[in-house]
Amino acid sequence: MNSLRAFVFDVDNTLTPPRRRLEPEMAEVLKNLPVTFHVAAGSDLALVQEQLVEPLQAAGYRGSFDAFVCNGSDRYRFELDGQTRLTSLRSFNLRNHLGASAFQTLMNTLENILNDPTFAIDAPGVRVFGEQIIDRGSMVNFAPIGRPKQMNPEAFANRDAFVVFDERTGYRHRILEHLRTALHGVIRDGGLRITFGGQTSFDIVIEGNDKTFPLRTLTEEGFTDLTYFGDALFEGGNDAAVLQFIAEHQEDQRLRVRAIQVAGWRDTLDQLLDLVQ
C-alpha cells in the first residue's frame, strides 16, 4: 500500500444511500481497498458511526481510518479490530470563532426563516417534525423540515416527499439566496460558508473548517496523491470547497488532487471497481 496515496469519501449518498446504513457490497469493497482511505462527512460523529462504522465493523473490516465529521472540521480516528476504538484528534467551535453577537445574528436569521410565511412548506405528504436548527459545535445544520431523532418508514417517506417538493419548486435555492443576503456581514467578517446539506438541509460552517480541512491536513501529513469522491461537487453543494482546494493547488507539481462527482453510492462502487482493477 502506497502511504502517499489516499481516497477521501463523503459519506451520505456517496458511500451510503441517503440517511441509510452502508450496503454489504460497499463494505466488501472498502474491506479490500488497496489504498488508504478516510472520510469527510457532512454529518456528525453519531450519524457516521451509525451509517458507516457499525456496518463496517459487522462486515469484518479490520483497520483504521480518520473521520473528518461536521463538514470536515472535527477529526476522529477509528480503529476497528473486532472492537471499535475512537480517538478525538481535533475539534473546532463555530460560536467561539464568530463571537456571541454574530452567532446570535445567525441564530435569529434562521429562526426568522422558520417563522416567515414566504418560506412555509406547502406540499402534500410533507410535514415538519424534529429539531430544525442543530448546533453541532463546529457547524450548524439547518433543516426546515426538521431532523427526526429516529428514522422510520414515516420519516423516510416524509424525506422523500420533501426532496420531490424541493426539486420541483427550488425551495432550498430560495432559502440559500436569502441566507447569503441576510448574513452578508457575517459571511464577510466571519468567513461563514453556507451550502446545501445532503438532500434536505443546509450546512453552515467557517471557511477553511470545511471539506478543505481534511485535504489540507492530509497533504501536510505527507499524502501527495488524493482522490475525493462526493455527490455534491457543484455550486452550493457541501463538497464544493474541495474544488476550491484543487484550484488553489493546481500549480503544485508535488501534489495531485482530483475530485470525482458521483450520482450515489452505486456510482461510487462502480468508480472504485474501475480504479482499483
- Tell me if residue 10 is catalytic: yes
- Tell me if residue 189 is catalytic: no
Q: How far apart are CA 108 and CA 25, in angstroms?
A: 44
CB atoms inside a 10 Å sphere around CB 11: 23
Residues 6+ apart with CB under 8 A from 76: 45, 66, 67, 69, 86, 87, 88, 89
Nearest to 113 by CA among 167, 187, 176: 176
Q: Tell me how far CA of residue 32 lies from CA of 37, 38, 60, 202, 229, in angstroms.
A: 11, 14, 11, 34, 18
Nearest to 33 by CA among 243, 256, 276: 276
**Does residue 177 come out as left (phi exceeding 0), alpha (psi in the -120 to 50 range) or beta?**
alpha
Q: How far apart are CA 26 and CA 204, in angstroms?
A: 29
Q: Contact, 190 vs 98, CB < 8 A?
A: yes
Which parts of the chain fold into alpha helices (H)?
A: 24-31, 45-48, 54-58, 94-98, 100-115, 153-169, 171-182, 184-190, 212-220, 241-248, 265-275
Of 12, 74, 166, 239, which residue is the catalytic one? 12
Of 10, 44, 210, 231, which residue is the catalytic one? 10
Q: Give the residue carrying C-alpha cell 500549480.
A: 251
The long-range contacts involving 77-86, CB below 8 angstroms and separated by at least 24 positions, are 78/53, 80/53, 80/56, 84/53, 84/57
The catalytic residue positions are 10, 12
